[in-house]
Structure 1
Amino acid sequence: MGRITARRPVVKITLGVGETRRPDTLAVEEPLEIRVGGAPLVVTMRTPGHDVELAAGFLVSEGVISSGEQFRSAIHCGGPGTGAAPASGEGNTYNILDVALAPGAALPAADLARNFYTTSSCGLCGKASIEAVETVSSYDVSADDAVLDAEALAAFPDRLRAQQSVFDKTGGLHAAALFDARTGELLVLREDVGRHNAVDKVIGWAVLQDRLPLRGTVLQVSGRASFELVQKAVMAGLPVLAAVSAPSSLAVELAEASGLTLVGFLRGASMNVYSRADRVRVSAPVTA
């Protein structure tokens, strides 16, 4: 859509040198309203692009759907073929997406709708209480027999970073990537101003490819591992979540309870495995 980045003037100040004026490339952040069957569900701040994947992944994370066959279609309101245009007359802003579920799929519960926006740094801000985020997954990740080499896992952050084309231009996007645990193949990578959005886009890709549950895969993220990211992984049937930064205490608790392998501080040749370390195979002797 050509709306992923934007150019803006900036004054760059260098101490001892002076100041210069030049254009700077920024990551675009815009609201996206997700509707289901015409009814508003949520508004999230995101980087435009892969909006259908974002919506599909969000619906999995919230327990609305659990498979690709439950997701029928999605269209930007006022887009081609709808015969409608925004009342402003300015044309389609591509900031409203209406999802149609397959026949027989239950619509979201009325109390799930969040009638305010979530910020790009908070995917669970609309929840009323901690109990409300304890969504029950359709998949048992504890039973996943995925095993991967620690050496291969250690290479994932650099491989993710090498594919962050928009980050190279802006320095302002999170990234999430899905790897095959057995072969190490990079299956998909998505970037977004919100780390939870990047993960939803990855999971949404899997929904549209009808690949849920994501058995035998590793979700690699560019930032920290929060409770919400662990929850999203569990909801998608992902057995391993790896982050380059720290996990939260609640993220570790949920990973342990769910049987998910949670890796943090994955940098260079070292990593901390907080739960289900049996899935990470180490070739060298392990020291206490």
Structure 2
Amino acid sequence: MTADRMGTESASDLPPPQLTSLPVRRFVGGAWADWQDDLVAAEEPLELRVQLPGGNSEPISVTMRTPGHDLHLVRGWLHAEGLGGAVQELWQTSDTPNVVWLRGDELLLLGARRTGTTSSACGICGSGSVERLMLRADPPVWTAAPLSPALISSLPERLREAQPAFQATGGLHAAGLFDPGGTLMAAFEDVGRHNAVDKLVGACLGPAQVLPPNRVLVTSSRAGFEIVQKALLAGVAVVVTVGAPSTLAVDTAVSLGLTLVGFARAGRFNVYAGAERLEG
């Protein structure tokens, strides 16, 4: 692979991954604290496009990532896919920071195209991702009583009790569906957090292709855009995660009316969106 247009990348020369400060309301020690700023890792889509003769281009892949070290990311992906030798040049431009352009063996590169790749007509930015989701998902409905903070903070441990594979290996994520009273309706494990949610949704979908109403999705992972997206498309109104959310996950939750809780554990959690569904 020849040198890219950005020059030789060095980790010491590049800016750190993007972080954004967002206001959160913390529940600590049995009481609500004042609003405080909290650092959240940015999440945006990155599209790989093959530059073709004549000026045209074709997308081959889209992945969600935290901006920063993008060319390292693409090189690693190309190597894992066995395509490192198919690329003579790769670059980014200031006009398209969420796109990495590739030039090389078009036949091999286009043959690696992933199904479901976002087209150029859909755009390749965070706001575009939210707008496309808004065309497919309705704002979630919650008709049950507000959830108590004590219940919210207890859900990760209740999910942990339904994670036998994690307890044996420590290497799997889990997704669980709870009713408003905190009863676990179903739980699935998988090495991928998105896969665990897909298994859960696939097992619990009703005839209308949504989950039963008034359900809480709990995951053992962070809350990335894909987790929020899958929850909204399934009709879930409340998402509780053990880890941190991303900026795009928070933006999406705010835009579509989802309750998003992160860093949930015994006695504490952060509310990033939809606090009206919680007591107090």
Tell me if 1:163 matches 2:162. yes
Q: Give the one of 211, 214, 217 matched to 1:216.
A: 214
Q: Is the 8 A contact 1:174 1:195 kept in 2?
A: yes
Q: Is the 8 A contact 2:206 2:212 kept in 1?
A: no
Unaligned runs of 5+ in 1: 1-113, 119-123, 283-288
In structure 2, the residue matched to 1:140 is 139
In structure 2, the residue matched to 1:249 is 247
Unaligned runs of 5+ in 2: 1-110
Aligned partners of 1:168 and 1:222: how far apart in 2?
12
Secondary structure of the structure 1 residue equivalent to 2:245: coil
Q: Judging by fraction of residues, say which structure has more helix.
A: 2
In structure 1, the residue matched to 2:203 is 205
- TM-score normalised by structure 1 residue count: 0.51
- TM-score normalised by structure 2 residue count: 0.53
In structure 1, the residue matched to 2:183 is 185
Tell me if 1:269 matches 2:247. no
Q: Give the one of 256, 270, 275 matched to 1:258.
A: 256
How much does 1:217 deviate? 0.7
Secondary structure of the structure 2 residue equivalent to 1:253: helix
In structure 1, the residue matched to 2:171 is 172
**After superposition, what is the alpha-carbon deviation per residue over 1:150-188, rounded to whole angstroms, capped at 9, x for unaligned?**
11111110011111011122111000000002x211000
Aligned partners of 1:258 and 1:243: how far apart in 2?
18
Q: Is the 8 A contact 1:139 1:213 kept in 2?
A: no
**After superposition, what is the alpha-carbon deviation per residue over 1:216-235, rounded to whole angstroms, capped at 9, x for unaligned?**
11000001000111111110
Overall identity of the aligned pairs, in %: 43
Q: Which amino acid aligns with 2:138?
A: Y
In structure 2, the residue matched to 1:278 is 276
> Deviating runs (4+, > 6 A) in structure 1?
none
Aligned partners of 1:245 and 1:252: how far apart in 2?
13
Rate the CA distance shift 1:268–1:242 in 2: closer, same or farther, 3 A. Answer: same
Alignment RMSD (CA, Å): 2.4
**After superposition, what is the alpha-carbon deviation per residue over 1:64-90, rounded to whole angstroms, capped at 9, x for unaligned?**
xxxxxxxxxxxxxxxxxxxxxxxxxxx
**After superposition, what is the alpha-carbon deviation per residue over 1:76-129, rounded to whole angstroms, capped at 9, x for unaligned?**
xxxxxxxxxxxxxxxxxxxxxxxxxxxxxxxxxxxxxx96569xxxxx9x4453
Rate the CA distance shift 1:117–1:161 in 2: closer, same or farther, 3 A. Answer: farther
Aligned partners of 1:209 and 1:193: how far apart in 2?
28
Q: Give the one of 187, 193, 196 matched to 1:195.
A: 193
1:1-288 equivalences in 2 (<5 Å): 126-127=117-118, 129-130=124-125, 131=128, 134-135=132-133, 136-141=135-140, 143-146=141-144, 147-181=146-180, 183-207=181-205, 212-282=210-280
Count of aligned pairs: 161
Rate the CA distance shift 1:249–1:177 in 2: closer, same or farther, 3 A. Answer: same
Secondary structure of the structure 2 residue equivalent to 1:145: coil
